[in-house]
Structures are given as C-alpha cells and as structure tokens.
Structure 1
Amino acid sequence: MDMKARTLHPLPTPPPSIDSPALSPWKLIKLRYALMADRFVEVGLYGLIVLTPLAFGTVELWSIAIAEVMIFTIALVWGLAMLSDGGIRIERTAMNLCWLLVLIFGLLQVIPLPLQVIRLISPKAAAIYQQMEFDSHLAASWHTLSLVPYATRQALVRMLALALVFWVAVSHLQTRDQVDRIVRVVMTTGFGLALFGIIQHFAGNGKLYWVRELTQGGSLFGPYVNRNHFAGYMEMVIPLTIGYIVANRRPISDGTWDWRSRLLHWGTPQASRSLLAFFGGLIMSVALLLTGSRAGLFSFFCSILFMAVLFSSRRLRSKQLLGMLVSFVALGLTYAFWLNPDRVLQTFAIIQLGTDDPSFHGRVLIWQDTLRLGHDFRWSGTGLDTYIWAFPLYKGPLVDQDEYDFAHNDYLQAFAEGGVPLMAILALALLWGGIQLLNGWSRHEGTHTRGIGLGLLAGLVAMLVHSAFDFNLHLLANAILFVLLLALASRLLLLRRPQASASTRSDFP
C-alpha cells in the first residue's frame, strides 16, 4: 500500500535518548520536560473525559471552574513544551478559522461602543439602553452589543477553553497508540456511566449519588440531573464504540478465512478487545433506551442510519458490517425490553405521537418567540449566554414558565445570541468542516482509520441532530466530549504529511 495512504501524520524523528552522553545539560532538561509534558497533557485529557460527566455533567460554577482550570493548565504545559522545542505550532484544520471567528465575534460583543454606533448595528439594543438610561448626556454614554456583558465574558472563557481542548488534542494525539488509548478511555467512561445509570434506575432513591437532593427539579439518570443530557453523552460514545469494533475487525480476503482461522482469531487480543467493546456498547445502548429520551433515541438512530449508509457505500460495502450493526441494535433493544418493557414501550409510544405531544407544542411556542428575538437582534445578537435575560422580553402569553435558561434548540439560541454573523460561522463549520471530514474518510483505505473515523463522524452527527431539540452543548462535559471527537476526527482524517519514514510506518495504517 502507498505510504501516503498508510500514514496520516507521523511523529518527527525520535529525539536522542535521555541517557545519551552527547546531550548537554540544557538539552537534557528540555528533553525531560518534553517527556513529562507529553505525559501530563495526555493524562490531563483523560481526567477531563472521566471527571467532567461525574461532576453532574459540569453545569455548576464550582465544577465549571475546576474544568476550566484543568484545561488552561494543560494548555499552558503544552504551550511551554512547544516553546522549548522552538515555537508554538498549531495544526492547520478546517475548524481553526471557525474557532477564531467565534472568539473574535464574542470579543466584539463585550467591547464598549458609543450609543450611536450601537444604534446603527443593533437598533433594538439601543432602544433598550435608552429606556434604562436617565442621564441627560445620553449621546456620550458607551455600551456593549451584549445586553449582559458579564455573562458574555464568562461564555468567552468557556469558548476559549473548548478551543484549547481542540487545539491541544489535534496537535498532541499524533500516533495510533495515543488515539487508541483516548478512545478506550472514552468507551470505558461511557460504560461506567451506563452501568451506574442502570443501577440507579432500578435501585435509586431520587437523589444524585443517593445523597444529593434535586433542589431545582429534574429527571436524573446517572450523575446527570437531566436524562436527556445523559442520553446525549451516550449517543456520542456508542457510535465510537461501534467504530472501534470495525477498526479492530480482521478483514476477510480471497476466501482464505476458513473455520479454523475464525476459531483461532477469537483467541487473539484483538478479538478480545472487540468482544469487550461490543458488550460495553450493548450496556450503553440499554442505558440510552432506559432514559426514555425521545430526542436521544432519535439522534442515536440517525447516527446508526448514517453508519449504515457509509457501510453500504461503494468504498466500504460489507454485508458483514451491516449485519453486525443490525445485530447490535437488535440485541440492545431486546435487552432493554427485558429489563424494563414499560419504559421502552412508553418511549416509543411518545415518539409515535410526534407533533401531537403537548410538550412538543410547548417547545414550538418557545422556538417561535426565539425567532422573533433573533430577528430583532439579527446583526449583533443579544450576547453569548444572555438568552435567560433576553427571552422574557419576547415570551408569549402561551408559554407557561416565566424563566427559560435555554431555547431547547442550540441553533435557534445561537441565532438569538449571535444573530446572522454567528449563524454564518456555524454554517461554515458544518458545511466546510463536514465536507472535508467526509472526503478525508472516503480517501483512506486503512481499516483502523476508516473504523475509528466512522465512529467519530457518527457520534458528531448524533449530537448535531440532538442539538435541534435540546441544549446538550451548553453542558461542559458533553461539549468537551464533542470537541474531542471533532479533534480526533480532524487528526485522523485530515492531517497527514507527504512522506513517512520507516520508523513511523505503524502510526496510522
């Protein structure tokens, strides 16, 4: 096979050994720091994956602060390691421009501007400021495009943290072993959360970890206050698990795989890992079904359909893989039905209601009011993370609650908070980035890259679908996992160098 197709982005020429007598003391210090930094960054990413969902999905101020401190510390160590090696290098991907545009746009929302300028950009914001202003020198006052600049500054910090997660992961995870390790950490975390959620479902007392009361309501599942957000986490991990199984399968070629070869294959470590992943995926599928999340289940089936379409494509046509996918879904449904048939039947009954469901009508009313809000602030938005303050100005009389933190549709909320500019950036990321990732996947021939890449893309598709019905990406735990999947997909499918040395032949076959 052509070496270009076998290696995406090999590591540079290995540095001299620490024990080499040719190293000067300064070079020895830099080499030791580089090795420690590599280990610190990798372990730090593992910590983010494991700890953020356990901290109730990282939605409270204390858990958000801890996660952000972890991210900035990891980024600092990573940056210092690159500086000691000659300068900071960030891999070029289709998403870099989108991250920068979002950060710049958010910064513009919190820069004070004269009221005359704000009136040109956002007449509605200027009118609100005029109603609030009692100073006779109104023309000289300065305001921000964001109605609540403090909230927007907090959102900017979180966006910067997520961008750093993307840049660190896409630049640091360069070898096949690194990618496999972090994928296994994600799958193990998902399996642990699923097992915890199932046990809690049957033996819970209505409290988080059997200890903490739900002070503001909710429908908990596992460590999450909202079962829909737990489902959002699962729907990203399950497709990745299926992709891992595909990546570790033994290809059948020219009819040489007889019954004896099949029997011997089941005793290999590769087959053992696939069996463990298959079992873990089933447990996660059962947990997803037991949540009763309609949007989660619908998004999961969309990701399965996406995988089936790619399995049926000319580049990866395989009846064996399609059969595995059907068996996986069928076994998951059967096991969940055996554990709790009432919950499974109730979930599918609610899905069958469709637009006749009263809760769906309530969300439609919220979406309509959100569209009016976005239309009035279409060129500037109300400011990142200001929906909770801006929406009451547009809430219709038929909407029952007085306060809404989120629009239950991340795209409409992005339109309200960022207007047309933010929607244009999102469209650029979805279209440009999505096309590049799909093209990158279709070009690769290696079983490992195609399998893992398939799982990553399907997990991203599931969350993008779910975001049309909920606000999963406003939970830092789910957002971090989504960004990590995006970084891994960019690493595997887009980044490669024109020539590979023999020492790096096994990086990304």
Structure 2
Amino acid sequence: LLMAVLGYAVFFLSAPIAQTDRAGREHRNIYLLALGILGFAQAILFHRRETKKAESRALVWLALLLPSYAAFQLLPLPLYMLRVLSPARAELLDALAPLSLRPEWAPLSVAPALTLEHFLLFAGYAVVFFAVRDVARSSRDAPWLPVLPVLAIAVWQAGWGVSQFFGGGDEAFAHGTYVIRNHFAAFMEMALPFAIAYGAAALGKKGWGSKISGASAFGAGIGFTAAALIFAAILCSLSRMGLAASGGSLVLMAALALTGKFKARTTWTIVILLSLALVIGLVLLAPAQVILRFSDLSSEDRLNVWHDTLHLIAAYPLFGCGLGGYQSAFERFKTSAFDLVQDYAHNDYLQYLAELGAAGFLIAAGFLTLIGLHTVRAGLLHRDPDRRWLALACAGSLAAILIHSTADFNLYVPADATLLAWICGLTVFMNRCT
C-alpha cells in the first residue's frame, strides 16, 4: 500500500504545485483529501499509543502542528486582530475600502484557496510519516523492508531517465516522469544513499574482512548496481545542484561511518581525500552539458529574486503570507524580470519563511532538527549493522535534499516531499531502537 502511495505521487504528483494542469490538480486533490482525512484519524490513535519518550512526543506534536498551522492560516479573523498579527495583510484589505469590498473578517493567507491545497498536502505528508514509522515498527526483523519501495521506484525512474538522455538527441536530459530535471534529480539524490547503504550492509553483515557468503555478495551486487544506475541518472539529468547535493550527502555518510573507527585527525584526512576524489570523479564523469551549465550561472536572476523575497519576509514576519501565497504576495516587491511570473523563490528556506512566517518556520525547523539529531545518533551509536547503515542512509538523504533546497523548490513538489516524509518516518523508529 505504501509503495502504491509513493508510486502514485511520483507518477501523478511530480509537477510543482503551482504549475500543475487541471488534471494534475484533480489527481492531487482527490488523492490527498481522502488520504488526509483517513490519516489524521489514524495519527491521533497512534499518538495515544506513543512511547513516553519526550523526544518522540515532540516529533509527533510537531508533525501534527505543521498541517494544523496551515489550517490556522485559513481561519477567518476580525480585521482589528489582523492589524496586530499581520499589518501587511490588513493593508491589502484596506485597499478594498474605496470599492466597498473590504471584509470585516479575513484569513491570514493572501491566497486562501491555495493554502487549502497546501493544507491537504501537508496532511498527506503527515499520513506518510506516521504510516512509515509504524511499518518500520512492525518489521523489526526486516529493517530494509520499508526502504525497498523507495529503491524500486528510484531504479524504475533512473532507468527511464537514462534512456531519455541517450535516446533523445543532443539537448536531451533525464527527467523520468518529472516535468523539471532538478526535481527528478532530487528524488534520485534522496534514494542514492539507501542503495549504497544496502550494498554496504550486505557486505558487512559478518564484519568487514570476513568471508563473504553468496547471499551477501548477491545483496551487495543488487545495492551497488542500483546505486550506479541512480547515480548515472543524476549525471544524465544535467542538474547542477543534483550533483552538488549528491556529493555532499556521500561525504557526510563517509564522515559518520568513519567516526569512532579512527582518530579524529585520521578521519578528517580520509574524508578530505574522499571529497577530493569525488570532485575529480564528478568532473571526469559528468557530461559536457553539465560543465557548460555551471558556467552559465550569471544569466539567472535568482539573486535578485532572493533579495526581493527578503522584503516579502519583512512585510509578513510573524505568520507569513500563507502557504501557496508567495506568487500573489511577491508581485508588490518584485524589482526584476517583470515579464516572468515568479511563482517560486528557487529557495525552499526563503519561500517557506515568507509563507509560514517565523512561527510556522520554527515548527518545521524544529521537526527537521529533531529528525536530524535522531539520524546522526542512530548512525553513530546503533549496535545493529543493518540499522546503523540505514541511519547513515537517512542522514545522507536528508543532507542531499537540504543542500539542494538552497537553490531550488523541491519541497513544493509533492512526490519529493512525500519521500522526505517517508525518510523522516524511518528515522523515528531507528532512534527508538538505539
């Protein structure tokens, strides 16, 4: 069932939220509405049976607070309260007074219909988070079971993407079922650490240096073959940030895997050498089109967009302009590229800060910070080799998407956000077994 959920998201919900056509919106809304209603009831029941550990309780509450905060942005408030909570929002409503259209009650969101769509999406992500957590809890003897759907879908997408690159002419690139190459690369870079870790765990089941059984060799071959195909898909996507994020995630995995095995100076020396080898390898293996795209950074207008987004953040500092309201609210602060519709900031951190405000952004940041701490702790301390490698993969995957999000809007793509929620659910259970 969970594999069907993720597969549906990748196949039907791989376009950015603001750029989907009518059919895509219908798929998204029908799917997530049903999933959100059923999932929230399920999440409440799971919360009642949750462990008494303070950290786990905090994660549960934060996971539920994220969609609840989106619902709060939809709550109609009296105009006098809006003047206190969001003066910029009240100013927009005051502009309607000469037309006798100013309402007495209005939500914090400048685009309530879009905020409703995002509320349903966040509800769906919460469902995936809780469902994966409980699947991992019920498969203690098979820790890799919740990861297999991710790897299966990633290999399918990677194979499709590589065939697109080699069969599409000089200007072709890998994108799978995705509309945009960077979002395809984001899914691949989040899946890549799991393929590598699966192969490494298979080799290390009886300890490194011991005789390798046929089953272990077969498992390692599957994992490393999948990793090679996924990495080839990232290269063929021609995504600059995809390569950078993948490299950063692999370096982090190596650093965590080596921690405690050598002295600190030796560990850092090995990590630096591996980083240099990785950079050289990427330069040698990357298609020429990727190198040319790195040289074309100056033609993009993202720095101006980011600068203007800071003014938007300053106008809606506490509660934001509402999830999905970036495009509507940004027009007032736009100072360049007036012929283009700026529906995204090309930086998830800036856009979510603008839409959620400081209050909502702190909820999301607190959730991801706890997830990151759980992942690193499990990767360093877990006694079971399988779960330790699984934790290292989660750490690498989280690092990849967090790096990539500095220059793109991957977390506004439901398929990629669903995978992030999946990884977070895995992390919670591994921490409980540490």
Question: Which of the residues 82, 89, 101 maps onto 2:49?
Answer: 89
Identify the match of residue 252 of structure 2 among 283, 291, 306.
Answer: 306
- In structure 2, distance between residues paired with 1:275 and 1:254: 16
Aligned match of 1:235: 189
CA distance in 2, matches of 1:56, 1:199: 22
Partner of 1:14: none
Contact 2:36 2:123 in 1 (8 A): no
103, 106, 114: which one pairs with 2:67?
103
- 1:439 Cα deviation after fit: 2.2
Pairing partner for 1:472 from 410, 418, 426: 410
Query: In structure 2, what residue type is equivalent to 1:305?
Result: V
Alignment of 1:242-281 (within 5 A): 242-250=196-204, 257=210, 261-262=211-212, 265=213, 268-281=214-227
User: In the TM superposition, what is the alpha-carbon distance from 1:440 to its structure 2 partner?
Assistant: 3.2
Distance 1:332-1:177 versus aligned 2 partners, 3 A rule: farther
- Decide whether aligned partners of structure 1 residues 401 and 45 sit closer, same or farther in structure 2, where only a CA change above 3 A counts: farther
**Equivalent in the alignment of 1:29:** none
**Pairs within 5 Å for 1:17-28:** none
Shift of 1:376: 0.5
1:330 Cα shift? Answer: 6.8
Partners of 1:226 and 1:464 lie apart in 2 by: 18
Amino acid at match of 2:235: L
| Partner residue, 1:11 | none
Instruction: State the match for 2:21 in structure 1.
Output: none
Greater percentage in helix: 2
Which one has a bigger Cα radius of gyration? Answer: 1
How far apart in 2 are the matches of 1:195 and 1:406? 29
Alignment of 1:367-386 (within 5 A): 367-386=306-325
- Asked if 1:287 is matched to 2:233, the reply is yes
1:474-499, CA deviations, whole angstroms, 9 ceiling, x for partnerless residues? Answer: 1111111111011111111x224xxx
1:145 equivalent among 95, 108, 112: 108
Map 1:312-351 onto structure 2 (within 5 A): 312-314=258-260, 337=285, 344-351=287-294
1:432 aligns with 2:358: no
| 8 Å CA contact 2:379, 2:389 repeated in 1 | no
* One-letter code aligned to 1:61: R
How many angstroms does 1:133 deviate by? 3.0
Alpha-carbon contact 2:234-2:243 (below 8 Å) kept: yes
Equivalent-residue separation in structure 2 for 1:254 and 1:491 (angstroms): 26
User: How many Å apart are 1:67 and its aligned residue?
Assistant: 3.8
Q: In the superposition, relative to structure 1, how do residues 53 and 487 fare at CA in structure 2: closer, same or farther (>3 Å)? A: same
Shift of 1:275: 0.4
CA distance in 1, matches of 2:251, 2:360: 29
Q: CA RMSD, aligned part only? A: 3.4
Q: Partners of 1:459 and 1:365 in 2: how far apart?
A: 29
Secondary structure in 1 matching 2:406 = coil
Match of 2:14 among 41, 45, 57: 57
Cα pair distance change 1:488/1:70, threshold 3 Å: farther
Which aligned runs of 4 or more in structure 1 are off by greater than 4 angstroms?
76-80, 135-138, 251-255, 315-319, 329-336
SS in 1 for 2:66: helix
Residue in 2 that maps onto 1:495: 432
Note closer, same or farther for the CA distance 1:286–1:484 as it changes in structure 2 (3 Å cut): same
**Residues 391-447 of structure 1: CA deviation (Å, up to 9, x unaligned):** 111111x22543122111111001111111122223322333322332233221210
- Alpha-carbon distance change, 316 to 390 in structure 1, aligned in 2, over 3 angstroms: farther
Find the aligned partners of 2:87 and 2:394 in 1 and give their Cα distance.
43
Matches within 5 A, 1:58-137: 59=16, 60-68=24-32, 71-72=35-36, 75=39, 89-90=49-50, 92=56, 94-134=58-98
Structure 1 unaligned residues grouped into runs of 5+ = 1-43, 208-217, 338-342, 497-507
In 1, are the aligned partners of 2:162 and 2:174 still within 8 Å (CA)?
A: no
Q: Partner of 1:419 in structure 2?
A: 357
Q: Please tell me whether the aligned partners of residues 192 and 227 of structure 2 are also in contact (alpha carbons under 8 angstroms).
A: yes
Paired residue for 1:180? 144
Aligned equivalents of 1:107, 1:69: Cα separation in 2? 14
Assess if the C-alpha contact under 8 Å between 2:259 and 2:380 holds in 1.
no
Report Cα offsets for 1:57-97 as digits up to 9, x if no partner: 155213313542563487389679x79xxx95356354222
1:190, 1:234 within 8 Å by CA — same for their partners in 2?
A: yes
Residue-by-residue CA offset, 1:205-247 (whole Å, 9 max, x unaligned): 899xxxxxxxxxx977221110001100000000111111222
Percent of aligned pairs sharing the same letter: 26
| 8 Å Cα contact 1:374-1:419 kept in structure 2 | yes
**Structure 2: segments with no counterpart, 5+ residues:** 17-23
CA contact (8 A) 2:410 2:416 kept: yes
* Cα contact 1:58–1:64 (8 A) shared by 2: no
Measured after TM superposition, the shift of residue 359 of structure 1 is 3.8
* AA at the equivalent of 2:107: T
Instruction: Give the whole-Å Cα distance in 1 for the aligned partners of 2:188 and 2:8.
Output: 15
Partner SS for 1:381: coil
| Closer, same or farther: CA 332–115 of 1 in aligned 2, 3 Å | same
Paired residues, what number?
416
Partners in 2 of 1:191 and 1:335 — Cα distance?
24
User: Under a length normalisation based on structure 2, what TM-score does the superposition of the two structures give?
Assistant: 0.85
User: Which whole-Å CA distance do the structure 1 matches of 2:230 and 2:208 have between them?
Assistant: 35
Shift of 1:181: 2.2
State the distance in 1 between where 2:320 and 2:215 align: 54
Q: Distance in 2 between matches of 1:443 and 1:484?
A: 22
CA–CA separation in structure 2 for the residues paired with 1:285 and 1:417: 33
Structure-1 separation of matches of 2:279 and 2:4:
32
Residues 332, 248 of structure 1: CA spacing in aligned structure 2 closer, same or farther, 3 A cutoff? farther
TM-score by length of 1: 0.73
